[in-house]
Structure 1
Amino acid sequence: METSNTLHRDVQGLPREAGPLSSYNGDIPPCPDWFTKAIATGYETRFVRVKGARVHYQSWSSPNKPGLLLVHGNGAHAHWWDFIAPYFAQTYNVVAMTFSGMGESDWRSEYDMATFAEEQIAVCEATGMFDHEQKPIIVAHSFGGFVTILTGAEYGERLAGTVIVDSPVNPPHRERKESRAIRSHKIYPDLPTALGRFRLAPAQPCENHFAMDYIARWSLKQVETDSGMGWTWRFDPDIWQRFEIGKSASELLKQTACRIALFRGEDSELMPDEVKDYMEQLLDRKVPFVSIPHAYHHVMLDQPLAFVSALRAILADWDHSAPSRKSE
């Protein structure tokens, strides 16, 4: 686990002990109607090539609308947004992407923050977001938020704003913790066993097992073994052995060249008030800082509808005050 101004490594699937989904033995947990309807909403799956790697993205609506790019955390994928994105599809050209080395995107021999930022811009370009008179907005969780802080510093003039969700840029005095060593992927004999090993990291309670189960299934892939077929995690377990961080998040946050809003889970151990105050100090301006009640680090899983409502409010305010490209 990292702290300070480095990256928060919330890789899913690493713990080998049984997780909360093990009790379902491969069955889908009961889920509310809103969730069933949301994940049944159709989307298009496409890829854009960035520095030789295919980057996966999903699109729910039309490029005739203002762009809204949704970005996941480390070890995750675009499907974390499948039950969030439909709530914005009527108003926005809403797209969720998957970084290289994760989900359905290609793996690389080397990784760096600048390339991840380029992937965000490439997806915006591929989906027509820069062709609309309103500039796009990026909403990003955890590790994706750190990438988006870089994107906001380097490409902010092309964006209407960024929303950073539970991505802590820590003050220098906050205690550092040692990072957990990344293990090679284990291959599980069947899907129920694999699902039973899925846990959130950093560890936290999550009552919405239906959401956990959904993203866990998209986090796995079938592979061939000597004894038949098995299941393993999609993300590249060696990313952090072949990764270049680049500039510090604190310096990049100060360089943000577009509007910015900060979200956190109110119960997130990663985003206490001192982190909030430090990030606001770095920005040297008053920015929206939204705390989602009864949510931990994985805000979209803990309180998805509260998250949707809060994000809608921020976006509506920004849309109302946003200048068009013609007026610039």
Structure 2
Amino acid sequence: MSTIEVPAWFTDALALTPEQHTVAVDGVSIAYQTWGAPDGEPVVLIHGGAAHAGWWDHIAPNLAANHRIIAPNLSGHGASGHRHGYSLAQWAAETMAVAAAESSVPPILLGHSLGGLIALTAATDAANTIRGTLAIDSSITPKSGERWSHLPGMNRSEHPIYRDRATILSRYRTIPEDAATIPYIRDYVAERSIMQVEGGWRWRFDPAIFETAPWWNPDDLLAIRGEVALILGRRGAADADIEEWVQARFGDRIPISVVEDSGHHVMLDQPIALTGHLQQLLARWS
């Protein structure tokens, strides 16, 4: 566990405890949490693969002044139920269902990594009305998507069982790791990424989420009608080819921001910088 002194901004954010909810989507219970006034403009924060809604706990309160912030646990993640199979389209349907459960106003979707692909998938569906879509270090091009299939730990068919809580927490790693990751934030999300089972402890997510590689078709960006933007970590999974590819095809229509000294997990590496980017984006789109 981290021995670094935890700053006030982090403890103050966590002190704003979210409300807990569930909604059934296609026969599976989807757990989600909310911050802010119920009549605020809805903003959905979508976590990445093998993560959970708690990855946003230190970010969401700083976005809730004028918005209803909604953070779902996708099926197969966190406190939500599991499915026999997973897809971007199914997760997009869950995202829109939790947004509709909270507001009739078209939402803004902000997603990290896999969550960004889910946000983009929802935005390409003509049946969905969305104010804006942001993908944070999401692998939207074939080159960046292919990189993920070779990372260690992404193709495990079942979870190992660890004998005690301390052991499993000592094994927690982000994939990929980065030197900028803040230890006390990593520890916070790690403690919420495990569950006790017979014989010990295991990771909370369903390993079957990796059985189908949910790579995004970058040409589908052409189908998005509303606002769309990208945020990249300087050392993230979204390689430089994404900037070149997007600018070549879309010019200034899709703005790209880069968070310096950050790897893939921007909210763990540079949370204050990321929060500033998100606040500016929400102000512009609202």
Please, what TM-score do these two structures have when normalized by structure 1?
0.80
Q: Does 1:139 align with 2:110?
A: yes
Distance 1:141 1:155, change over 3 A: farther
Residue type of the partner of 2:240? Answer: D
Residue type of the partner of 1:202? Answer: P
- Partner deviation per Cα, 1:36-72 (whole Å, 9 max, x = no partner): 1111112111111111101110011222111110000
Q: Does 1:238 align with 2:229?
A: no
Residue type of the partner of 2:123? Answer: G
Structure with larger RCO (C-alpha < 8 A, sep 6+): 1
2:129 corresponds to which residue? 158
Q: Does 1:203 align with 2:177?
A: yes
Q: Does 1:167 align with 2:138?
A: yes
Deviation, structure 1 residue 310: 1.1
Q: Distance in 2 between matches of 1:259 and 1:183?
A: 38
Q: Distance in 2 between matches of 1:118 and 1:173?
A: 25
Deviation, structure 1 residue 224: 2.0
Deviation, structure 1 residue 267: 2.4
Point out the structure with max Rg over C-alpha. Answer: 1
Q: Say how many residue pairs are matched.
A: 283
Q: Map 1:203-282 to 2 at 5 A.
A: 203-225=177-199, 230-241=200-211, 243=212, 245=214, 248-268=216-236, 270-282=237-249
Q: Distance in 2 between matches of 1:165 and 1:248?
A: 14
> Do the aligned partners of 1:157 and 1:258 also contact (CA within 8 Å) in 2?
no
Distance 1:156 1:88, change over 3 A: farther
1:3 corresponds to which residue? none
> Do the aligned partners of 2:18 and 2:35 also contact (CA within 8 Å) in 1?
yes
- Partner deviation per Cα, 1:219-244 (whole Å, 9 max, x = no partner): 0011122xxxx211000112222x37
1:298 corresponds to which residue? 265
Match of 2:71 among 85, 96, 102: 96
Distance 1:207 1:175, change over 3 A: closer
1:105 corresponds to which residue? 80
Q: Does 1:63 align with 2:38?
A: yes
Q: Distance in 1 between matches of 2:174 and 2:189?
A: 11
> Do the aligned partners of 2:151 and 2:175 also contact (CA within 8 Å) in 1?
no
Q: Distance in 2 between matches of 1:60 and 1:281?
A: 38
Q: Distance in 2 between matches of 1:140 and 1:172?
A: 20
RMSD over aligned CA atoms reads 2.2
| Structure 1 residues not aligned, in runs of 5+ | 1-23, 320-328
> Do the aligned partners of 1:292 and 1:303 also contact (CA within 8 Å) in 2?
yes
1:325 corresponds to which residue? none
Q: Distance in 1 between matches of 2:144 and 2:72?
A: 34
> Do the aligned partners of 1:194 and 1:232 also contact (CA within 8 Å) in 2?
yes
Deviation, structure 1 residue 194: 1.0
Q: Distance in 1 between matches of 2:195 and 2:89?
A: 28
Deviation, structure 1 residue 149: 1.2
Deviation, structure 1 residue 178: 3.4
Q: Distance in 1 between matches of 2:253 and 2:94?
A: 29
1:17 corresponds to which residue? none
Please, what TM-score do these two structures have when normalized by structure 2?
0.92
1:286 corresponds to which residue? 253
Identity %: 34
Distance 1:173 1:110, change over 3 A: closer
Q: Distance in 1 between matches of 2:194 and 2:232?
A: 27
Of 251-260 and 91-100, the range deviating more from structure 2: 251-260
Deviation, structure 1 residue 282: 4.2
Residue type of the partner of 2:114? Answer: F
Residue type of the partner of 1:263? Answer: I
Distance 1:248 1:34, change over 3 A: closer
SS at match of 2:138: coil
